[in-house]
Structure 1
C-alpha cells in the first residue's frame, strides 16, 4: 500500500472541513446580519438550522450518485454549487436570499464532506485508512476551533459579508486542488450500475448490518456531542467565566491540540489492541469528561477546561476509529456508506444540540449531561465482539 501524499491528505482534509468552516465562520456575524437585514437574532438561527437540514439530506443523494458516476464529477459539481451559494450569501439583501445561498452552500458542502471519506476508502484500507481518517478528523476539529476567531476578525475589518467572500475563495482553491491533486479515485470498473430503486435497498441493507451500524452509531453519538459542545460552550465561557469573543476563539483554538494528539494515537492503538477496544475506551473517556464537568463545575475554569480536554481526547479516539470500522467492510459502496454515516452524524448533531439548549438546567450542567449521554450512547453502540478489521486482518 502506497504512502499517503501530504498534498493528497491536505486536500481531502480541507474538503471534509468545508461544512464546519462554512457554518462556524459565520457565528460572530449573526447579530450584525440580523441588524443589516432587519430581522431578530432568533430568526437568524435559520441560517444554521437550514444548513444542517439540507446538508444531512443531500449526503444521502451525493454518496450513491458518486458510486455510480465516479467521485470527480460529483465533487467538482458540488464545489461549483458551494461557490455559487457563497456568492449569493455575500450579495444577499434580505433573509430569504441569504437562506437560498445557505441551502446551496449545504448541498455543495455535502458532496465535499461525504466524498472526502469515500475517496480515502477508495485508495486505502487497514491501518493506513485509520491513520488518514485520523488526520482528516484533526482538520475537521480545527475548523470549528479556529473559524469563529477568523470570522470575527474578518467581520471587524471588512463587515459581515467578508466571511462569504472568503468561502468563495476557499471553494475556488479547493476546486483547483481536487482537480489537480486528487482527481478520480473510483475506476469505471468499480462503479455500481444500479437502478434508482436499488439505492433505497442499499440503505436498508446498511441499516440492518451491525458491522456498519454499531460503529456508525458510536461515531454519530460522539460527534453529536461535539456539535453540542461547540454550540453551548461559548455561552458557558462568556456567562460563567466572562470571556471576551477573542478569548472564546483562543480557547477553542487550543483544544485542537488535544484532538490532534488523540487522532495520532487512535490508529496506532487500534492496530495494537483492535478497533472496538479503542472505540470503547474513547467513548468511556468522552462520558467521563461530561461527568467531570457535571460534578466539578464549582471548581472554576480549570475544572471546565480539564473536562473539555477529557471529552475531546475521547472524541478524538472514537471518530477516526469508528469511521474506519464502519466503512472498511463496504468498499463496493463506499459512497453510500459514507453518506449514511454523515446523515447519522448530522441527525445526532441536531438532536444533541437541541437537547443541550432545551434541558431545564444551567448551561454548563445541560452541556455536561449531553456529553455524558453522548459518550454513554457511543459506548453502548460499540461492537461487542473482538475485531481486527482496522489492523487489516481478513
Structure 2
C-alpha cells in the first residue's frame, strides 16, 4: 500500500483533512464580535470560543488515533466527520453562549479524528523520502487554511451572517468525506490492526514519551504550533486596534502573509535531503526567533507601523513553514507500526501547547504585540534547546 509517488488528488485530500481544525478555528475569527453579540457574551469571551474547541480537540486525538489502529482509519474518520457536522450545526443554531461552546466542543472532537488520521494515513501510504515529500506538500497546501479562512469567513460573514460560516464548515466536511471514500477508502488493512487495551494503550503512550526519536521533534513541533496559535489569536486584535484594519482588511492580511508558509514548506523536504532534517528545523526556529525580535521592536516602538508588523509576520510564517512539516516527518518516520497512536500523541502535544499559549497570551499584562513576541521567542528557544542533540553526528559503527 505504501507509495513512492505523490498523487495530487490524495495530497489535496489529506491536506484538507489536516486543515479542518485550522479552518474551523480561523474562519470564525473575523466574525467573533457579531457571534458574541448574538449569544449575549462579552468580547472577553472570545478566547473561550477558541479554547472550547482546542481543549476537546487535543484530548480527542488521543482517542481517535488508537481507535483507528484497532478498527481502521475509515470508520473512525467518518464518525469524526459526522460529529464535526453535528457540532457545526449546533453552534450555528446557538442563541446563548453555552450552546455555542457545546457546539464548538463537538466540532473539536470531530476535527480531532480528521487531523490525527490524516497524519496516520500519510504514514500508511508513504515511506522514507516519499513521506517527507508528501508531508511537505500537505503542509504547503494546508497553509491556505489559516491564511485564507479568515478572508473566507469575512466574506461569508459580512454577506450572510456569522452562522453561515459554520454552515460552510458542514459543506466542507461532507465534501471531504465523499472525496476520502472515492480516493483512499481504507488505508490500514485488517492484518496490520492492533488491539489496544487500556494498559497497552497507556504503555504505548509512555513508551513514545520516553523515546527521544519521538519527543525531540514532537516537542519542537508542538512549541512552533503553540506560537502559531498565539499569532492567530493576537493578530486580529492587533490589526483592528493598533493598525485600524476592517474585517476584509484582516482577511486579506492573513491571506497574503500565508504565502510565506507556502514558500518555506515547498522547500523543506528538499533542504532536508540536502543538509539534514534537524538543521532545517534549527534554521526554522532561528527564523521564528528573528521574527519575535521584529515583533518585540514593533510593540515597544508602537510607531513602526503596519509594514514592520507585516515583515515580522512574514518572517515568522516562513519559519513555521520550515519547522512544521520537517518535525512532523521526523516524529512519525520511526513509528510505522503505531502510526495512529504516534499521530494522536503528536496532535495532543500540539493542541496542549496551543491552549497553553492562548492562556499565557491572555494572562500576560503586556501589550498584545509584546506578549506575542515573548511567546514566539520562548517557543523557539525551548524547541531549539530540546531538539539540539539531534544535530550530533551518529556514532561510528563498531
TM, length-normalised to structure 2:
0.93
In the alignment, which residue of structure 2 is the partner of 1:268? 270
Cα deviation for residue 388 of structure 1 reads: 9.9
Residues 288-328 of structure 1: CA distance to partner in whole angstroms, max 9, x if unpaired? 11012223553332222222222111111110110100100
Moved more, 124-133 or 276-285: 124-133
Cα deviation for residue 246 of structure 1 reads: 1.4
Moved more, 71-80 or 144-153: 144-153
Aligned with 2:317 (options 308, 312, 327):
312
In the alignment, which residue of structure 2 is the partner of 1:94? 96
The answer on 1:103 being equivalent to 2:105 is: yes
For residues 304 and 36 of structure 1, do their structure 2 counterparts lie closer, same or farther at Cα, with a shift above 3 Å needed? closer
Moved more, 141-150 or 319-328: 141-150
Cα deviation for residue 386 of structure 1 reads: 4.5
In the alignment, which residue of structure 1 is the partner of 2:51? 49
- Structure 2 Cα separation of the partners of residues 294 and 35 of structure 1: 32
Residues 192-237 of structure 1: CA distance to partner in whole angstroms, max 9, x if unpaired? 1232320011000000000000000001001100111111122222
- Structure 2 Cα separation of the partners of residues 91 and 311 of structure 1: 37
- Asked if the contact 2:268/2:321 (under 8 Å) is kept, the reply is yes
In the alignment, which residue of structure 1 is the partner of 2:201? 199
Cα deviation for residue 181 of structure 1 reads: 0.8
In the alignment, which residue of structure 1 is the partner of 2:147? 145
- Asked if the contact 2:4/2:127 (under 8 Å) is kept, the reply is no
The within-5 A match list for 1:213-292 is 213-292=215-294
Cα deviation for residue 142 of structure 1 reads: 1.9
For structure 1, the residue ranges without an aligned partner over 5 or more in a row are 390-394
Aligned with 1:363 (options 354, 359, 368):
368
- Counting matched residue pairs gives 389
The within-5 A match list for 1:1-394 is 1-295=3-297, 298=301, 299-386=304-391
SS at match of 2:55: helix
For residues 284 and 73 of structure 1, do their structure 2 counterparts lie closer, same or farther at Cα, with a shift above 3 Å needed? same
- Asked if the contact 1:218/1:381 (under 8 Å) is kept, the reply is yes
- Asked if the contact 1:138/1:256 (under 8 Å) is kept, the reply is no
Cα deviation for residue 44 of structure 1 reads: 4.9
- Structure 1 Cα separation of the partners of residues 227 and 186 of structure 2: 34
For structure 2, the residue ranges without an aligned partner over 5 or more in a row are none
Residues 237-278 of structure 1: CA distance to partner in whole angstroms, max 9, x if unpaired? 222222222111111101121100100110001011111111
Cα deviation for residue 45 of structure 1 reads: 3.7
For residues 14 and 218 of structure 1, do their structure 2 counterparts lie closer, same or farther at Cα, with a shift above 3 Å needed? same
- Structure 2 Cα separation of the partners of residues 301 and 43 of structure 1: 27
- Asked if the contact 1:275/1:387 (under 8 Å) is kept, the reply is no
- Structure 2 Cα separation of the partners of residues 95 and 300 of structure 1: 36
Moved more, 375-384 or 270-279: 375-384
For residues 378 and 241 of structure 1, do their structure 2 counterparts lie closer, same or farther at Cα, with a shift above 3 Å needed? same
- Structure 2 Cα separation of the partners of residues 38 and 352 of structure 1: 26
- Structure 1 Cα separation of the partners of residues 281 and 142 of structure 2: 19
Moved more, 371-380 or 210-219: 371-380
Residues 113-141 of structure 1: CA distance to partner in whole angstroms, max 9, x if unpaired? 00001100111122221121122223333
- Asked if the contact 1:24/1:144 (under 8 Å) is kept, the reply is yes
SS at match of 2:196: coil
For residues 17 and 180 of structure 1, do their structure 2 counterparts lie closer, same or farther at Cα, with a shift above 3 Å needed? same
RMSD: 1.8
In the alignment, which residue of structure 2 is the partner of 1:392? none
Cα deviation for residue 91 of structure 1 reads: 2.3
Moved more, 117-126 or 137-146: 137-146
